[in-house]
């Protein structure tokens, strides 16, 4: 079985006894998926997402976010295939559902991930989309 330390709000979670909590199974899958989404994509390790580097226009944001969430799931699956300690209750088998809603710069998603143990994990979260800085849209090449 595979374990990791629990993270809450970006920091290691320390319980009332003053020790870190170990998580496994679906909780570990949830945290591993969040880590993939929140890590800047590195092609040399095939890990992370492009959310931190890409500026998307309002029209493309829903399709981009949907596509990138699927890509993050695929990257996590490839990573898990190389982990001999990854158990069926934490191994991502498929994305069952992805719903994305964009309101201005705020993007909300609701996903269902299915594990190899046929369990379903529901994830609801949000992303704030980056917008171009002033002047980036009107720059002419060659000047």
Question: pLDDT (tens digit, 9 = 90+) per residue, 90-139?
Answer: 999 999 999 999 887 788 999 999 999 999 999 999 887 766 665 554 44
- List of domains in the chain: 4-9+19-128 (3.10.450)
Provide mean pLDDT across the span 71-97: 95
Q: Which of 31-45, 47-61, 129-143 has the highest mean pLDDT?
A: 31-45
The string of DSSP letters for 16-82 reads TTSSBPEE-HHHHHHHHHHHHHHSBPBTTTTBSBSTTT----TTTHHHHHHHHHHHHHHHHHHHHHT
Look at residue 7 in the predicted model and tell me its pLDDT.
Answer: 85
The half-sphere exposure of 127 on its side-chain side, counting CA atoms within 13 A, is 28
């Amino acid at each position: 079985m595979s374990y990791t330390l629990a993270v809450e709000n970006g920091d290691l979670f320390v319980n009332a006894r003053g020790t870190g909590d170990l998580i496994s199974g679906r909780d570990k899958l949830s945290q591993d998926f969040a880590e993939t989404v929140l890590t800047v994509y590195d092609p040399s390790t095939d890990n992370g997402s492009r959310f931190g580097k890409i500026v998307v226009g309002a029209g493309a944001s829903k399709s981009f976010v949907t596509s990138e969430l699927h890509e993050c799931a695929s990257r996590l699956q490839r990573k898990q295939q190389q982990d001999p300690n990854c158990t069926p209750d934490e191994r991502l088998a498929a994305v069952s559902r992805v719903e994305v809603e964009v309101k201005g710069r705020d993007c909300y998603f609701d996903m269902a991930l299915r594990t190899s143990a046929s369990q379903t994990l529901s994830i609801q979260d949000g992303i704030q989309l980056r917008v171009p800085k002033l002047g980036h849209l009107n720059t002419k090449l060659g000047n």
